[in-house]
Copies of this chain bind each other. A is one copy, B any other.
């Protein structure tokens, strides 16, 4: 259940409502959106208690949502969310292209790649300054210096930029530097991080965990929303299965499933799913055909020397050529790119 609080409600009235909820053992979360105060309950209460809640002086209306996720639910908000950032729309009729290197390695590297990407219709430049690595001995990212390089590239080329944030203590700094924050697959259930980006005021790309069910993924989006940030973009990037021809198994079924469950936009990262560049074209086309609102693709101009994920990175010219094929598929399903 979702309870909408009257704009005129006084703190003491809201407090009385909270006490009512606590007395009845109803797990809940107060969510301050830009326009409203909403209280989400984990489960729908009995009819009698629902009535009592509705009669509270602070309550404007209640909505019974029978899914564990409420704010993300298509039933709660039947109009699809379109996230506008500058002149880019995510979730609109145009399929958005997000591309760039896995890690930001140097000013020269990012500059060079960014310059070439502008020509392929890339709207958003990806790049990570903080890198989650399986081994403590691997390159861990450039950190704050990488953020600065990213920001400069943004200014110079007029593209939006997105980057990963891993540590709650970095959220404010990262949000200051980039247009979109990204939560990686390994942190999809790092709930403190979700709460923190829920307060950051910037759009968030939320990658699906490699062993997360679709419902768990949407519940992680709900965490961000319940802490005040409704600009969530879901990103399918493959799940872990027994198949080892690919790094992960890209689950394109999740796109239509998510579209039925939620009003949020969903994009696809074929690069991390495949783990090998030769499959990217087929998977990128399939993603758009399945209804994806965008693609997140790794591009590097010197993949052999890349500090990470070289094997799965396209060359800038390969992306340019692929973009033309993707445009045809986008048009075949009534969209543009």
Contact with A211, one of B168, B240, B250 (Cβ below 8 angstroms): B240
Bound-state Cα–Cα, A246 to B213, Å: 10
Q: Does A36 contact B (CB under 8 A)?
A: no
> CB-nearest residue of chain B relative to A328?
B332
Across the interface, name the chain B residue whose C-beta is closest to A284.
B289
Report how many residues on chain A are interfacial, defined by Cβ distance under 8 Å: 78
Minimum CB distance partner of A250 in chain B: B253
Q: How far is the CB of A213 from chain B (nearest CB, A)?
A: 6
- Contact between chains at A256 and B279 (CB < 8 Å): yes
A287: nearest chain-B partner, CB-CB = B286
- Interface segment out of the listed A88-96, A149-157, A188-196: A188-196
Min CB gap A311→B, angstroms:
15
Residue contact A213 to B190, C-beta cutoff 8 Å: no
A274 interface residue (CB < 8 Å to B): yes
What residues of B have a CB within 8 angstroms of the CB of A119 in the complex? none
Are A253 and B227 in contact, with the CB atoms below 8 A?
no
Chain A contacts with B in 202-242, Cβ cutoff 8 A? 209-211, 213-216, 219, 222-223, 226-227, 239-242
Q: Are A260 and B278 in contact (CB under 8 A)?
A: yes
Supposing A137-B42, A167-B192 touch, asked if A333 and B274 sit within 8 A by C-beta, the answer is: no
Which of these binds chain B: A106-114, A128-136, A295-303? A128-136
Considering only CB atoms, which chain B residue lies closest to A71 in the complex? B136
Within 8 A of B (CB), among A265-302: 273-274, 278-279, 281-283, 285-291
Interface centre among A42, A187, A190 (most CB of B within 10 A): A190
Chain B: CB-nearest residue to A190: B190
Q: How far is the CA of A286 from the CA of B253 in the complex (A)?
A: 9
A258 to chain B, nearest CB (A): 9
Task: Give A135 to B224 CA distance when docked, in angstroms.
Answer: 11
Cα A169 to Cα B192 in complex, Å, equals 10
Q: CA of A288 to CA of B289 in the docked complex: distance in angstroms?
A: 9
Most buried by B among A219, A223, A255, A256: A256
Output the least CB separation between A284 and chain B (Å): 9
Contact between B291 and A282 (Cβ–Cβ < 8 Å)?
yes
Complex alpha-carbon distance, A333 and B223, angstroms: 39
- Assuming the A-B contacts A139-B27, A332-B332, are A239 and B243 also in contact, with contact meaning beta carbons closer than 8 angstroms in the complex? yes
Question: Are A27 and B138 neighbours in the complex by a CB distance under 8 Å?
Answer: yes
- Residue of B168, B226, B239, B274 near A249 (CB, 8 A) is B239
Q: How long is the Cα–Cα vector from A213 to B242 in the complex, in angstroms?
A: 7
* Distance from A275 Cβ to chain B, minimum over Cβ atoms (Å): 10
Question: Is the C-beta of A257 less than 8 angstroms from some C-beta in chain B?
Answer: yes
11 residue pairs bridging A and B, Cβ less than 8 Å apart: A186-B191, A187-B190, A211-B240, A213-B245, A243-B254, A249-B253, A256-B278, A283-B290, A286-B290, A328-B332, A332-B332
5 closest A-B pairs by beta carbon, nearest first, are: A211-B211, A42-B137, A289-B289, A332-B332, A286-B290
Instruction: Report which A residues bind B (CB closer than 8 A).
Output: 27-29, 40-42, 68-70, 132-140, 166-169, 186-187, 189-192, 209-211, 213-216, 219, 222-223, 226-227, 239-246, 249-257, 260, 273-274, 278-279, 281-283, 285-291, 325, 328-329, 331-333
